[in-house]
Chains A and B, each alone.
Chain A
Amino acid sequence: DSGVTQTPKHLITATGQRVTLRCSPRSGDLSVYWYQQSLDQGLQFLIQYYNGEERAKGNILERFSAQQFPDLHSELNLSSLELGDSALYFCASSPLGGLGDTQYFGPGTRLTVL
């Protein structure tokens, strides 16, 4: 157990819908990262937050947004869902969000868009 929690574990929804994925980092970690894992694209970095502020952005679609709250938990919002958004979404956390910080992954949320 990494100490990073994610809810829900599974999510099944329809195209065009909107969902929210939630992540709680390890106690004391200030930085949260979101990754998408699909069969054809592998593990892709979406976005990083550090202490409530956006720190870095990767291949995140405009339909996706995220935020980190004062209690440091983070939410990833996915809207206007398409079939291709079906994937495993992982959250990771690290102490400071700096180079060499070990990133600890949560168990993931499996999103299925029908």
Chain B
Amino acid sequence: GENVEQHPSTLSVQEGDSAVIKCTYSDSASNYFPWYKQELGKRPQLIIDIRSNVGEKKDQRIAVTLNKTAKHFSLHITETQPEDSAVYFCAASKQAGTALIFGKGTTLSVSS
């Protein structure tokens, strides 16, 4: 079945710096890749997603890139702020009706 690897597991940056989180997936049939942000004790919240017919998508300070050939996708956060501190999960989905397979998560800490 599908397997999603996520790196790094922890990431510490200074306020204003950029943060990059990378994920690789195993099943070439996967074609939907969302990113979720989870604050401590809260529910995962979708922050951005990308489909396989798109190579890059941007929403203000957040962008996601997808390389289908290499089977990896990345989350980029620019101008980080302390409120960006949270656990970020990548996920992959390969066909209609199949649920999301999540990476293990990255704990991002932004210090001011």
Contact = CB atoms under 8 A, between A and B. Distances in A.
Contacts of A99: 31-32, 93-98
Name A's interface SS: strand
Name B's interface SS: loop
Contacts of B98: 56, 99
A64 to B, nearest CB: 15
Nearest to A99: B96
Interface residues of A, number: 24
Contacts of B94: 99
Given A42-B104, A43-B102, A98 B43 contact: no
A97 B93 CA distance: 11
Given A100-B51, A102-B46, 15 more contacts: A2-B43, A2-B45, A33-B99, A33-B100, A43-B44, A44-B102, A50-B97, A55-B97, A56-B97, A90-B43, A97-B97, A98-B96, A99-B31, A99-B32, A103-B34
